[in-house]
């Protein structure tokens, strides 16, 4: 039995980042190892220079959805980054940048937030995922 949860984090809007962080924190709280593999816009969101900025929402949010999310933030809901940091404190959460996406954006690991533990290729991703569940966000 392999309890690892692997998340391919492709999207980088605040709503999907929050969903990924929640799934990571829940798994960590249950003692499951969590592996996050950052691609494309998910990777972009972890640039050191912009991790705290507004990353927008999925287009389907609309004005009403955006207002609800903004109100929750003002009422003190943890951000995705705070949730992910908490997940890392709670359990085993490893965050790797996809090397192919690093090449597209011409990024070096030093350009990324320290929450990112390293850079790996897709083969390493699968090996680390083992037989555990994989979700693509």
Q: Would you tell me which residues interact with a copy of itself (CB under 8 A)?
A: 1, 5, 8, 10-13, 15-16, 19, 22-23, 25-27, 29-30, 32, 39-41, 44, 55-56, 58-61, 65, 68-69, 72, 77, 98, 100, 103-106, 121-123, 125-127, 129, 131, 133-137
Which lies closer to a copy of itself via its Cβ, residue 114 or residue 121?
A: 121
Which lies closer to a copy of itself via its Cβ, residue 94 or residue 128?
A: 128
How far is Cα 92 from Cα 39, in angstroms, rounded to an integer? 20
Q: How far is the CB of 92 from a copy of itself (least distance, A)?
A: 15
Q: How far is the CB of 101 from a copy of itself (least distance, A)?
A: 9
Q: How far is the CB of 47 from a copy of itself (least distance, A)?
A: 11
Which lies closer to a copy of itself via its Cβ, residue 40 or residue 113?
A: 40
| HEC assignment per residue over the chain | CCCCEEEEECCCCHHHHHHHHHHHHHHHHCCCCEEEEECHHHHHCCECCCCCCCCCCCHHHHHHHHHHHHHHHHCCCCCHHHHHHHHHHHCCEEEEEEHHHHHHCCCCHHHECCCCCEEECHHHHHHHHCCCEEEEC
Which lies closer to a copy of itself via its Cβ, residue 52 or residue 72?
A: 72
Q: How far is the CB of 116 from a copy of itself (least distance, A)?
A: 18
């Amino acid at each position: 039995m392999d309890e690892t949860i692997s998340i391919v984090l492709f999207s980088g809007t605040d709503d999907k980042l929050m969903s990924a962080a929640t799934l990571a924190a829940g798994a960590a709280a249950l003692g499951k190892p969590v592996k996050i593999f950052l691609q494309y816009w998910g990777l972009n969101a972890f640039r050191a220079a912009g991790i705290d900025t507004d990353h927008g929402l999925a287009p389907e949010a609309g004005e009403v959805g955006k207002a609800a999310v903004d109100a929750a933030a003002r009422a003190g809901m943890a951000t995705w980054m705070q949730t992910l940091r908490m997940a890392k404190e709670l359990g085993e959460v490893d965050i790797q940048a996809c090397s192919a996406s690093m090449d597209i954006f011409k990024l070096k690991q030093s350009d990324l937030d320290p929450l990112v533990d390293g850079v790996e290729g897709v083969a390493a991703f699968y090996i680390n995922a083992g037989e555990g569940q994989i979700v693509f966000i």
